[in-house]
A and B are shown apart, each in its own frame.
Chain A
Amino acid sequence: AENEQPWGTPCTQLLVFVATPGCNGFPSLDSKESYKLSVSEGSLLLSADAVWGALRGLETFSQLVGRDENGTYYINKTEIVDFPRFPHRGLLLDTSRHYLPLRAILETLDVMAYNKFNVFHWHIVDDPSFPYESWTFPELSKQGAFNAMTHVYTASDVQMVIEYARLRGIRVIAEFDTPGHTLSWGPGAPGLLTPCYLGKDPSGTYGPINPILNSTYQFVTSLFQEVSTVFPDFFLHLGGDEVDFTCWKSNPKIRAFMKEMGFGEDYKKLESFYIQRLLDIISSLGKGYIVWQEVFDNEVKVRPDTIIHVWKENSTPYMEEMANVTKAGYRALLSAPWYLNHISYGQDWMVAYKVEPLGFEGVPEQKDRVIGGEACMWGEYVDVTNLAPRLW
């Protein structure tokens, strides 16, 4: 029995009040994440407009609870009114350069919740491997995964990720990056990729998706039909980065097409041709889209509600790019200074922390178009053995 009780009446309950719960729905870009936390003698109250805010408040609450030398849990009297500055706070994981087992993804989602991240940008396939098990095109992963038995994400794996994320107020935005970064699609989808030529003969190697064939667009439509159903978020990330034109240029049928379309020697126009058709397909499926900055830089005609993802640090300084993108009326996401796979010695977190996403010249309407950013953990040198300590 203690002579002195330094603490007030013990609180045993945190009351959570949510105005419009939506507990069975999915979080979205417009979700309200604001919350109020009120801690006073005998009363712990967390209130939010939506359940997503309650989740954020719960995380904050868990951070406020301390423990003294005697093992008593305590919390200081406090009044908190909190809401996020940016609605899109994302993390990119790359499961193509190295497969990441489900538990690594789920663990990452947990840590994202501790840090109030709300978007999991799943860069699920790329050149090195295609781990996504498609029911429309099972050959894609059968031929394209590192190992079709052990290094794939089944439909149930994907649903598990989506639900686990949802319960943490995290949106899952899948990226099926095209037309570049698609080498692993080739084996499972013969005829999809452009055959490269050495002079008059095919060299045996392949390049980006072949933009001149009708079969391409049929394939893309079917695949994205599936992807649109599997991933409930309104947005899909369509990639569009680093398209290498060399292979297209080498292919005589493509050159003929360029001539026919009057594109001259400007392969950016061919890239635009593909992307525009892709965007139309996605729109007709009722989805919105995010694309890497090249799509904007190469002057592809995109819908006004396109979100441009700024990732290049130097070709144009990224702040300038942010200004240009928002000036042109598009919403922007910032990743350029946050490529966390670029490790270096010392406290490099400080460099990331000091970034001011709105540090560019522009009118308030422009600044409003910056909806947030994403930390990227590209997988060239990352797998389950080193993901967690590298990212956090």
Chain B
Amino acid sequence: RYYEYMFGQPRRRKRGRRTPGARAEPELSQLQVVIQSRDPGCHSYPHLASSEAYHLTVTEPVAILKADEVWGALRGLETFSQLVHEDDYGSFLVNESEIDDFPRFAHRGILLDTSRHYLPLKSILTNLDAMAFNKFNVLHWHIVDDQSFPYQSISFPDLSDKGAYSYNHIYTPADVRLVIEYARLRGIRVIPEFDTPGHTQSWGRGQKDLLTPCYSGEQPTGSFGPVNPILNTTYDFMTKFFKEISSVFPDAYIHLGGDEVNFDCWKSNPEVKKFMKKQGFGIDYAKLESYYIQKILDIVSSYNKGYIVWQEVFDNKAQLKPDTVVQVWIGNNYAHELSSVTGAGFTAILAAPWYLDYISYGQDWKKYYSVEPLNFPGSEKQKKLLIGGEACLWGEFVDATNLTPRLWPRASAVGERLWSSRNVTNLQDAYERLTNHRCRML
């Protein structure tokens, strides 16, 4: 596919257009790709510790792209494709170069939300292409939420049957496999997020008794709140459900959500109140939330998956395993949060300054570019715990009609911030390269 990116449709290209008597210019005839590790990784999935480093040497007659693993070769191929340019006469040129490159942060992600608005497969795949152009390596697939449940589960088909917007707004197992493979071929990990216990309204349509019934006094109101944390059936369901998720999604991590849990419904439910008393939680519903989360974390761990959670899970003092990854998203004083999270020994991912769904007039890419993720009080050891970040495009006002122009090229600013060195900060220089890059992506 890179041949096409650089030279256009192969059919279009005329061969041998050299005018007779033309000055013999140095010609590059081959790009040799060498992967050094014994197991290049071509048949495996990328992971957090994958090597994405590469060395690119461009001289005549053969350019060499060397990498430890195939993932580095992919990154180098993208770079090489950016070096090739066309002159006014249609000749393709590349400057002699020597590049030694590797990413600053290992987790460089994009969050897509397919619950607020369904995103057709084409949209997701186009986005994966764009991610590859910007060396992003994680697709954080926020696949279900309150509004709709498009994930077709084999164990619980009612979830999407009753919870999706319509039969046409579903991701079948084949769709999911396609996304995962398309991503893999671009060195992109797919981390699904099944956000609980809040953000689960759509789950309740297809799974009776999963959500907490809310009460007004003695009477159920007919509406539902977060997942019901006091029933065994809840955990039976989650055990079976996450078993499926663990096998469907090959990445080592699953995102378990845990954000914005509204306690009102729990507080209104007499059974839940009884349980709180029994457990000695008093009126601290954060303890109930933690109780729930801990059980989910245990379930997921038993399937040998690592997990990522939103910051509330940490803030509300749930007992997290030491290898939990905490995603910092709340905008106020996120530097302070990063200090706390890493100070407590947890790995962190930064999303707070990069909510790209918050559009505004003008060149807002500059403010995303200017974020310095390590600008928080902390020791060297702490700073190492910040493994990267994510640009988030929440779907309240986004669907296939406007996703691409809304996300790109603004996300490119985040991509560079996460890959390039700390001292690559010149806005004017970035502007020039970004405008070129944008045209290239088109």
Contacts and interface: CB of A to CB of B under 8 A. Distances in A.
A345 B359 contact: yes
Contact of A345 (B357, B402, B405): B357
A389 B405 contact: yes
Contacts of B281: none
Interface string A321-355: 00000000000000000000111111100000000
Nearest to B363: A381
A124 B71 CA distance: 47
Contacts of B401: 388-389
A385 interface: yes
B360 interface: yes
How many A residues touch the partner, as a band? 10 to 19
A148 B401 CA distance: 31
Interface string B384-400: 00000000000001000
A78 interface: no
A344 B405 contact: no
A343 B442 contact: no
A346 B397 contact: yes
Given A345-B357, A346-B397, A386 B405 contact: yes
Contacts of B362: 381
A386 B404 CA distance: 9
B397 A343 contact: no
B358 interface: yes
Contact of B358 (A341, A345, A347, A388): A345
Contacts of B358: 345
Contact of B361 (A344, A346, A386, A388): A344
A189 B397 CA distance: 46
A381 B404 CA distance: 15
Contacts of B357: 345
A346 B396 CA distance: 8
Contacts of A344: 359-361
Q: Is the interface of A mostly helix, strand, loop or mixed?
A: loop
Nearest to B402: A389
A339 to B, nearest CB: 9
B402 to A, nearest CB: 4
A345 B360 contact: yes
A375 to B, nearest CB: 15
A349 B405 CA distance: 19
Interface string B236-249: 00000000000000
Contacts of B404: 385
B397 A385 contact: no
Nearest to B400: A389
A381 B410 CA distance: 12
A130 to B, nearest CB: 21
Interface residues of B, number: 14
A385 B360 contact: no
A273 B323 CA distance: 75
B405 A385 contact: yes
Nearest to A387: B405
A342 B361 contact: yes
A278 B127 CA distance: 51
Interface string B404-442: 111000000000000000000000000000000000001
B405 A343 contact: no
B442 A385 contact: yes
Contacts of B405: 385-386, 389-390
B352 to A, nearest CB: 16
Nearest to B408: A385
Contacts of A346: 397
Interface in A366-392: 381, 385-386, 388-390
B340 to A, nearest CB: 28
Interface string B355-371: 00111111100000000
Interface in A139-170: none
Contacts of A389: 401-402, 405-406
Nearest to B361: A342
Contacts of B359: 343-345
Interface in B314-371: 357-363
Contacts of B442: 385
Nearest to A385: B405
A388 B397 CA distance: 15
Nearest to B401: A389
B402 A343 contact: no
B397 A341 contact: no
A217 B363 CA distance: 39
Contacts of A347: 397
A107 to B, nearest CB: 13
Contacts of B402: 386, 389-390
A260 B358 CA distance: 55
A181 to B, nearest CB: 20
A59 B401 CA distance: 23
A388 B402 CA distance: 9
A390 B360 CA distance: 12
Contacts of A341: 361
A351 to B, nearest CB: 14
A346 B394 CA distance: 12
Nearest to A386: B405
A183 B88 CA distance: 26
A99 to B, nearest CB: 13
A342 B364 CA distance: 13
Contacts of A381: 361-363
Most buried by A among B361, B397, B406: B361
A305 B63 CA distance: 70
Contacts of A390: 402, 405
A341 B359 CA distance: 12
A117 B362 CA distance: 27
A347 B397 CA distance: 8
Nearest to B396: A346
Nearest to B442: A385
B361 to A, nearest CB: 5
Interface of B: 357-363, 397, 401-402, 404-406, 442
Q: Which 8 A-B pairs have the closest CB atoms?
A: A389-B402, A386-B405, A342-B361, A345-B358, A343-B359, A389-B401, A343-B361, A385-B405
21 contacts: A341-B361, A343-B359, A343-B360, A343-B361, A345-B357, A345-B359, A345-B360, A345-B397, A346-B397, A381-B361, A381-B362, A381-B363, A385-B404, A385-B405, A385-B442, A386-B402, A386-B405, A386-B406, A388-B401, A389-B405, A390-B405
Given A345-B358, A385-B442, 5 more contacts: A345-B357, A345-B359, A381-B361, A386-B405, A389-B401
